[in-house]
Each structure stands twice: as structure tokens, then as C-alpha cells.
Structure 1
Amino acid sequence: MTAPAEAPSVPEAYRECERITREQARNFAWGIRLLPPAKRRALSAVYALARRIDDIGDGTLPAEQKLRLLAEARAGALAPGAHPHDPVLRALEDAARRLPIPLAAFGELVDGCEMDVTGRSYDQLADLVEYCRCVAGSIGRLSLGVFHPELSEPDAREAGELADALGVALQLTNILRDVREDHGNGRVYLPKRDLDLFDCHITVLPDGSLDPQDGALAELIRFEAARAWGWYDRGLQLLDVLDRRSAACCAAMAGIYRELLERIAADPRQVMTGRASLPTRDKLTVAARALIAGRHG
């Protein structure tokens, strides 16, 4: 009989989370690098579990199996200490003992992924915002727990609302960036009422690009981008209550997405033919700008 593998040590568990973040986080990792070591490790643990949940929802397994795995992930997030052999949950359990990380927010992330699995459609903006709050506002509130600003109860509630709003802004940007890819996966996040307003339908041409419909799709994308700007304006007020390193982390992550949104709005055609992204040098510039602003803030 094979002896069970030893549970990873806490340092080993954090190293695995940092590896996952480094290799898979893309835009998220740029901000994490600006945090002091303890918070960087904690946020890596948050990201690693969030990534696991997202991968279940976006994977190719049958829906019934996805829902079962999502239920298991929900249970693990709420009681990470019950899974000492899982490096991600072991790291998360340690982080949650040291910092006020609202583990219940992972349940909201699971709720959002279940919407994807069951094929939820979005009639109006309020429906889409509910989804964005689940899949991204939850990450904003989890991150706020890692940043751990010392606030009074009313100020802490407002900070949670700001973190939630910033998450919505980032997710709306993701939706515009991935509109073509999501359609290929059978998902349309743009609200039906907005599509009807612009007399627009998401359809694919023989070359694989989205039909611009005589400019109607570009106008719709710019319309949705303008809405996202409003969420950024609200959410970025969070920077005022964070310490300098946490503010730099948050500003770097948000800055990369804001720059991406600006490019999408300036040229919507790029999301009709592919997936818009920022070159590494531009991400470095945004991160450096955020760190410098944090030092002088």
C-alpha cells in the first residue's frame, strides 16, 4: 500500500501559488509584484484558487461535471484548512489566518461561473452587472482583504463597494476584449437591449471575424466602453484609502485594463478580428508609473 504524500509546508504551498500566478496571471501578475512579500504571497494564493475556479467554468468537461467540481471548489474555499494536501488551499488557509480575506466571496465567484455553465443570458445592463460583480467584484473584495487598510466600519463598507465597482470595470473590459472569442464559445455577454438599441447581432463572417454591420458593432463597443469608464471612475477612488504599495498594485492592474479599454474604444475593429492585448513593454510602463506614483503619493 502506497503511503500518502506528505502535505506541503506553508512555504512550499505559497511557492506553488506564486508559480501559478507567474505563469498564468498575465495582467494580474504585474500589480502583485509591487506588493511587499507577505501580501504578495497572500494575493497569489487568492489568484491561484480563483484561477482554478475559472478554469473549471471555462473547461471542456460536461456541464454536470463542471457543476460538481465548482461545488467542491466552493466547499474548499470556505474551509481551506480541511485540505492540507492541496497547496493552494493550504496557502489560502494561512493567508486567511493572517489577513481579513472574505473567503465567502469565492462563493460568489463560483456563482458567476455557474452562470456560464448553465448558459445564462443578459437582457439588460443590471443583469450583466450582477454577473460582473460575481466573477470580478468578488476578486476586488478578496484583494481588499489582502490590502487590509485600517478603516472604520462605515469606511470599510464603502471601500468594499469601491473594490466591487473596480472589479465590474475590469470585467466589462474583459467582455469587450473577448467578444469574438466568447461568441465562438457560445457566450454573448453584451446585453440584449443594447444589441437591439444598435440594431446589432453578433455574427461571424466566413474569414472568422465579426460582422461589423456597417459600423453598428463598433458604435455598440464604444457605447459599452463609455459605461466601463464610469465604473473605473468610481472604483479607482479606492486608491485613496490604500497604503502606497497596495495602491500601486491596484493602480497597476487597473491601469493595464484601462489602457486596453482605451485602445479598444479607439479601434473596435481589433476585437472583431482577434483578441486585443497590450505589449509587455506597455505593461511595464503602466506598472512603473503606478509604483512611482505610489512612492510620491
Structure 2
Amino acid sequence: MEDANSLLSTLSQSAAAMVAIIGGFLVSRLVALSSEREGIARQLKAAEQRLVLHRAEYEPAHEYRLGNSIETMEEWLLDKLIDERLESEGKGTAELVDVPRGSSLEEMLPYAEELRKRVDISFADVTDLITERDHRRLSFDSLVERGLTFAEEDRDLFIRVASSVIGGLRPSARYDFGNIGTDTLRFVTSPTSHEIEMRRLDESIRSESDLHALVVAGEHEVERLGRDLDDFAQPVGVTSAVWILAAFSIAGIMAPLLVMAFWSKPIPVWLLFVLVVGFGAGLAAVLGYIAWYQREISGRSVPDESDYDDVAPSDATSTDGFSGDQTA
């Protein structure tokens, strides 16, 4: 009986010591994981704040550059759609678009197609009001009196279309465009003004490109930190370690103590054998877990920079529509 109690006492003490050691390591690991998770959460919050700031700075820069590109593209396209209408008929819109510097055909094409529809509608409206008796003395105000209607923002477009249509009528003794004259004059800017305009355009393109690169990098950083934070929500091996320690505590500590406390008769050999086997199985599970955890850690490769930054060089240095054919 005394020998059996000594054996059971040794088993329970050994199991308790191992549970204390492994449990202490597990608790320290959980504390470290919690600290790392809080650090990543702070980094994620800071990255999200920076991303919001970069987006707020990027939007006006993008709108400014896009507005300049659309204005330049429309000016070039109107020359072809109105002044060179015969040559442009039968060609696709993509063939007629000259892409401004800093933009792309994909970005400009929707605006070009919309402009072409407006030009076609204005030509149809103006032509419908022209009669066989009309000649170049016809004025834009006369077309308005005949019922020509248009949106106020399309006034300059209709004036230019009317000028082109009237210019193709038969000549008269007196050449008169009425209110068209000064509205359709195209002034030539000085070389200095053009140089200043081009410099401002280049600066707007650079500004948008730099801010877009910051936005793309910020989005990838937020995505990466979010993945890292999700990984900490399910730490590797912690749940299985808790279950193994719980089973080992029951088999190696509680069971021998209960037998010593409540088994009044001599402890049979089969029961001692069961308790020893339970202790051995728990010990094997603990050692197996330690070996598995060591292989799991050593099997992880050192992360590359690409694992933390998925931004390709082309993504970090390009903006929406900053590819394709460009015209200075």
C-alpha cells in the first residue's frame, strides 16, 4: 500500500511539475501574443488614418489633372469633329482622340464619346433649321429665333457648330455672322503662357502620381496588417495545448490523488497499471506537442519583403489611366 502510494505520489508530483512548466510557457506565450496583437492593432489604426489622409489629398489632385486632360482633349477633338468633319466621318472615336499627357485612351474615351454625341446632336439641330434660301448672312441669333434650343453649358458648342454650318452655305454680297464673330475667335496664346501652362500640367501630373503611389502603398499596408491581425485571432497550437494539458492534469494529477484519497482497499495492480499508462500517455502527448511545435516554428520560412508589401513597381508609380499613348 505504501509503495503504491509512493508511486502515485511520484506520478502526481511529476505531472504537476510538467503541467506547471508547460502551463507557464503557454501563459507567457499568450501574453506575448496579446502584446504583439495590440501593437499590430495600433499600427493598423495609424495606417488607416494615413490612408484616409492620402486619399483626401489625392482626390483633388486627381480631379484637377483629369479636368485639365478632359479640357485639352475636347479642344483637340472639336477641331476634328467640327472643322474637319468630313475627314472624321466614318472613323471611330478612338481613332480621333489625341490623348493628353498624363492620361490614357481608356480614361479619355468615355468623355470623347459623350462629346461626339453632343456634336452630332448640335449639327442635326442646326441643320434642321437651315433652308435652301439661307446664305452666309445667316446669324446665330436668327437660328435661335427659328427655334434652336440648347443647354446653357452647350452654348459655345452650338455657336461653333452653327459657324461651321453657315460657313458652308452659299456666299452673299455681305458676309455676316451676326453674334457668332467674337464668340468663335480662337486666340493664340503666347509661348510664355503656353510654357507656364505646360509646367503647371506637369506639376499636376507629378503630384497626382506621387499621391496615387502613397494611396496604393497605404491600401496594401492596411491589407497586410489586417491579415496579420486575423492571424493573431487564431494562434497556432494554443487550443490543442490547453486540451493536452487539461487531459494530462486529469490523468496524471487528479486520478492518482483521487485514488490515494478515496481507495481504502489495497490498490490492485491493474489500477496501478491504468494510472501509469495514463501518465505515460499524457507525457507522450505533451512531448509530442513540444516536438510538433518546434517543427512548426522551424518550418516557417523567414518572410520576404514581398510577403509584407504586395505593391508591384508598376502599381506604386502609376495612376488611374497613366498608361497608354500620350500626346504632349
* TM tier relative to shorter chain: under 0.3
Q: Which has the higher contact order (CA 8 A, sep 6+)?
A: 2
**TM-score between the two structures when normalised by the length of structure 1:** 0.27
**TM-score between the two structures when normalised by the length of structure 2:** 0.25
